[in-house]
Amino acid sequence: MLRFLNRKNRSPSGLLIGLARRWMSAKTTVMSFGDGSQGALGLAASRMSLDCDAYEPTPIPGLPPDVCSLTAGHYHSLAVTSQGQVWAWGRNSESQLGRGQLSPRETWSKPQKVEGLNQVRIQAAFASGVISAAIGDDGTLWVWGKSKRGQLGLGKDVTEAVLPARVESLLGQEIVKVSLGWGHALALTKDGKLFGWGYYADGRLGKIGKLLEASPLDSVAEKVKPASINSNLMVETAEKLVLEAIEKEKEMPVIWEPTLVEELFDVKVVDVACGLDHSLVLCSDGALLSGGSNVYGQLGRVKEDLGLHQVDLRQRPMSIASGLGHSLAICKHMSSESGEDSRSVITWGWNQSSQLGREGPENVPLVVDSLVDEMPISVSGGRVHSLAVTAKQEVWSWGCGRNGRLGLGSSVDEPEPMLVECLGGREVLQAVSGFDHNLVLVAE
């Protein structure tokens, strides 16, 4: 996933971008592993099932040999080629594959080129659960899919785009990155401005001329989150509470078009990352801000105020990422042994399946010790697992191993980062996580 920082403090994932660009004229292979129930792996179905899981990275057939970047949505996948095309596969119930019409379920796992983008050369793509987005080489933003919460950003009450549509309200802005949550979206411009739209409860979009409101779902989550699973609260009662909260959320207002985030008018933003219902914003001065739901401590700060406020982080972040309910950052620090600059992975938030990769308080940003000597250059978070790519072009995974989502050949959970050994000898250019699946780009 692309991240942009100022030249002085170049993002470690910029190293990955450089690696990818080196191979734009050479062959690349896309591999996948994890849960295949929605077709997001892009692998052929087995005789027993329409979709199958993959317990180790497996090459995806049918893709062009010049893929240069990947994006994993919650249940679907996108690939961008050096020719500026976008290919998509996986869940298509909300038209997020850009195929012009709802395709038969058995075709979801077959990669196909997104329709309706012939007039623009795409340089990057992004995805959520129900929306896909792409940035043209002219800085325009294109979106497709279906969202009742305004995540398309195409105007009031526009909830569906079967084929890619240009976000007209952002014309004149050169967009360089988009990050999508469950119902909200953030877009970063080349000159460091931040636009937000969609569902804005809990201040996940900061202040955009609206009164900040708490999400009704948060009060329910406090009652039914993992710490209280063994309480006397019956499952039926919990389900009723959630359904009631969802009905209340339907009445919450949304922001239908991209709008500047008020509290960042005078701040240059260099990176953004959206979790399911929280946001991370990295500023050029090194300050990391968070906003949205804090049910699992994913905001990483003691201050509980709604809106965007600084994460309690002592290290200087270089790049950021979000899982469903956890947050990750690659931070720069001075090595006590060599006296040279080093990098570490910091995590905080939901840790039910050890997706933080370390022990200690969940709501406090802490170092993943197992990766201290590995020089991480990118991180990615799924529902309950995490990935890291190192300067050695190795992939490490940790957290929930169900359905093979760690790529280690089993369903065993791993509380600490483990090397994905079957990728040994391959030049890994990128690795990204969806909710329960993963994509890896390797050079041939």
Query: Which band of pLDDT confidence, cut at 50, 70 and 90, is reported for residue 258?
Result: very high
Q: What is the pLDDT of residue 17?
A: 45
How far is C-alpha 210 from the geometric centre of its chain's CA atoms? 26
Query: Is the alpha carbon torsion for 151, 153, 154, 158 positive or negative?
Result: positive
Question: What is the pTM (predicted TM-score) of this model?
Answer: 0.88
Query: Which band of pLDDT confidence, cut at 50, 70 and 90, is reported for residue 105?
Result: confident
pLDDT tens readout for residues 118-145: 999 999 999 999 999 999 999 999 999 9
- Lowest-confidence range among 71-80, 92-101, 217-226, 344-353? 217-226
CA–CA distance, 187 with 167 (Å, rounded to integer): 11
Q: Is the pLDDT of residue 5 over 50?
A: no
Average pLDDT over residues 82-95: 96
CA–CA distance, 267 with 153 (Å, rounded to integer): 23
3-state secondary structure of 76: strand
**What's the token pair of residue 276?**
């399911």
CA–CA distance, 59 with 41 (Å, rounded to integer): 9
pLDDT tens readout for residues 21-63: 454 557 999 999 999 999 999 997 654 455 689 999 999 999 9
Average pLDDT over residues 400-409: 98
State the chain's mean pLDDT as an integer. 87
CA–CA distance, 287 with 299 (Å, rounded to integer): 14
CA–CA distance, 77 with 42 (Å, rounded to integer): 8
Q: What is the pLDDT of residue 100?
A: 81
